[in-house]
Chain A
Amino acid sequence: MSLRIGIPRALYYYRYFPLWKTFFEELGFEVIVSRPSHRGLVEQGFKFADDDTCIPIKMAFSHTLNIKDQVDFLFIPRLLSVEPRTCCCPRLAGLPEMLKYSIPNMPAILDPYVDERYRDSHLFHSLFRMASELGKRSREVKEAYRKGEKDYHVFRERMERGEKVPDLFPKGERESPLPQKKIALVGHPYCLYDPYFNFNLIKILEDAHVSLFLQEMVSRKDIETEIRPLRKDIYWSSGKEILGASLYYLRSKKVDGLIYLTCFACGVDSMIEPLVRHKIGENGGIFYLCLMIDEHTDPAGVQTRLEAFLETMERRKDHWRKE
C-alpha cells in the first residue's frame, strides 16, 4: 500500500497545489486533500489555534484536523521565501511547529525548508531532500518535480489568461451574459479562492453581472514595472504582487473598480492597503472597496457592502455621464 500524504486545503495550497499534487502522485504517494471549508470543519480548528493569529492560519489548523487521522504524513512546507529577494509572512515559517505543538496526536510532518534567497534551499533542493529521506531514487524525484513544475506553469498561464481553473472555481462554469461593470479583485490567494472564507464573493459578483479581473491575470513583468518607480523594496512576495497588480489596474484603466479583500490581523495587508488606498486617492478614476473579513463577519454584512459598492458605482457613472 502506498503511503498517504495529507495536504491541508489552506494558505498556499491555493497557489501551489498543482505542483504539490503532481509531485507526490508521480512519486507514487496517495495524496489526500482536506475537504473544502465548511462551517463545522472550520470552527473545530479555532479551538486549537491561538487567538493572536489571523484567520487563514486558524483555517490551516482546521484543515489539518480534518485529515490528520487519515494520513501517514502531513505536508506542511516551511515557506520562508518563494521568490528571489522576497520573503513570506513569518507565520508561515513557524506553522509546522505551531501545528505540531498545538494539536494532539499529530502524524509525522514533512516540512521542507523553502527559501529561494539561498541556492541550497530552493524549492527543488528542499523537495529533493525530503523525497530522498522517504526513500525515493533521485531520477524519480527529478522527473516528478519536472512534471509538477510543468503543471504549475500551465496553471499559472491559464490563470493569467483569465480562465476559470476548475479547482479554484468549482461553480464558475456559467459566464454572466452581459458584464456591465469591470472590477479587479486583489488579495492573498487564500482569501480570494476560499469560498467559505469570503462568503462566495466571486459568485456574488458574477451574479451581479460583473466581469472580474483577478490579481493573477497581471503578469510578473507588469508587476515589476509597476513596483520599480516606488523606489522601495517591497519585501513580501504576496504584498508585492497585490500592490503591483493594484497599481497596474489603476494605471491601465482596464477596470472601473477595485476590491481589496483582506483578513483581520494580517500584517502584510496592514502596510500594503494604505499604499493602495493612497495611490487610488491620488490618481482617482476608479472606485475602491476594502473588505476586511474576520471571524464574526456574516454573509449579510458582506452582501450589503458589496451591493452598496456596486450601486454607488452605477450612480456615480450616471452622474458623470450627465455632466
Chain B
Amino acid sequence: MRLTVPHLGHLDIFLGAMSRKIGPEFIFPPKTSSRTLQLGVKYSPESTCLPFKFILGNFIEALEKGADTIAMISDHGPCRVGMYDVVMQQILKDLGFQFDWITMDDTHILRDYLIRFNRERKRWGVSFWDSLEAIRFSWKKVKVSEFIERMAHKIRPLEMKRGETTRVQTDSMTLIDDASDFRALEEVQQRCREKFDRIEKDESRNPLKVLITGEGYMVINPHANQDIERRLGEMGVEVTRTVWFTSQITYALRLDCLNPRSKRSAIKASRPYLRHNIGGECNASIGYPILYKRDGYEGVIQLLPIGCMLEAVAKNLLVRVSHEHDIPVLTFSLSENLSETMITTRLSAFVDLLQKRREKRRRNR
C-alpha cells in the first residue's frame, strides 16, 4: 500500500515522520506548483472552490508518481468538503487511474482512527508503545516546525537583508525533516534558534501587526494564498495566522479549553455577531479579529476561495466587526486566476493605510 494525502499545512511532516518510524509507506504529491493547479482546474467542475482544484491536482500528480491509495478527510456538512470524495473519485476514475480510496469521516473521528490505526498497527507488527512514541515524535516535529514559522513571522519584518529569514526558515525545515529522534530534534531546535539570532536585525523598527484569518485551506497553505505571509513580512509587517495544524487537531479533539487564543474562544467571541455556530471556520473568522484586537493587532486580512459557502457569511459580518472594533479588514476572495500584481498592490495599499492610521493616532495623542 502506497498511501497519499493532499498537501495541507504540515501534514506531510507529521505523516512523513510517522511513516519512517512505523510505516506505512507514503508517497507525497510533488510540491504544489502551477502544474498542479492547471491539472486541477482542467479536470474539476468549473464552479467548485479553489481547494478542490488544488487537492485534485495533488492527487493526480501523486497517482502519476506511483501512489495507489488515497486518504482524504470528509465531514457531514454544511461545507462542501464532505462531498469531495464522491466527486473526486468519479473524476479520477474517468481519467483511468486505478486506486483505493479511504475516506476519513469526522463523525466518529477518534473511534474510527483508533480502530483503523490499531488494525494497521497489528498488520505491520508494530507494538502499541512504539506507535504511541511515533505519534508523540511526529507531533513534536510539527510543533517545532510551527515554532520556526512563528519565529520567522516575528523576525522577517526586522531583517536588514531581504530574504534572509526565508532562507533560514527553509534550511530549518529541512533540518527538522531530517531529525530522527527526540534528542536530534532538540538539537535542531537549538541550532535553528541560533541561526535566527544571527540574522542581522534592525531592532528600532516597530512593525505593524496584521492577523491573517479566513478559510482553513487558504490560510494554512502558502501555495494557495500566494505566500502572503512572506510578502507582508517583507513589507515590514509582523503577521500571525489563525489556522495552525496543531490548533485544528486540538480543537477537533477538544483539548484546547485552556488556550485563550484557541478556536473555541474565538467562536465564543463571535457570539454577538453570529448567534449560532454554523460550522467551518466561519465563526472563528469573525471571532479571532476581536480577540487579536485586544493584543494590539492593527489589521486583519481575510482569505477565502471564491464562492465559499461559509466565509461569505463571515465576510458580510466582518464589515460590522471592523466598524465596531475599529480594525481595518481586507478581504481577498481568490480564484485560480491569481495575479501576483493584484495581491502586492492591494497589500501595499493596505499597509499604507495602516501606517497612516498609526501616524494619525500618534498625532492625536
Contact = CB atoms under 8 A, between A and B. Distances in A.
A169 interface: no
Interface residues of B, number: 41
Interface string A260-278: 0000111111111111001
A264 B47 CA distance: 8
B315 A52 contact: yes
A235 B280 contact: no
B320 A101 contact: yes
Contacts of B309: 89-91, 267
Contacts of B282: 90, 94
Interface in B294-341: 304, 306-317, 319-320, 333
Nearest to A233: B76
Contact of A50 (B77, B279, B316): B316
B347 interface: no
Contact of B317 (A86, A98, A234): A98
B80 A270 contact: yes
Contact of A265 (B47, B82, B94, B275): B47
Contact of B316 (A88, A101, A230): A101
Contacts of B310: 90
A97 B307 CA distance: 19
Q: Which of B79, B94, B307, B313 has the most chain A CB atoms closer than 10 A to its own CB?
A: B313
B47 A80 contact: no
Interface stretch (B12-20, B83-91, B149-157): B83-91
Q: Which of A52, A91, A234, A268 has the most chain B CB atoms closer than 10 A to its own CB?
A: A52
Contacts of B276: 78, 80, 93, 113
A132 interface: no
B211 interface: no
A38 interface: no
B48 interface: yes
Q: Which of A113, A234, A265, A292 has the most chain B CB atoms closer than 10 A to its own CB?
A: A265
Contacts, number: 115
A235 B278 CA distance: 14
A98 B77 CA distance: 20
B78 A90 contact: yes
Contacts of A53: 312, 316
Contact of A52 (B83, B280, B306, B317): B306
A194 to B, nearest CB: 20
A188 to B, nearest CB: 13
Contacts of B307: 52, 265, 267, 270
A97 B77 CA distance: 21
B319 A101 contact: yes
A270 B80 CA distance: 9
A97 B274 contact: yes
Contact of B87 (A91, A97, A275): A275
A269 to B, nearest CB: 7
Interface of A: 50, 52-53, 78, 80, 86-91, 93-94, 97-98, 101-102, 113, 230, 232-236, 239, 264-275, 278, 292
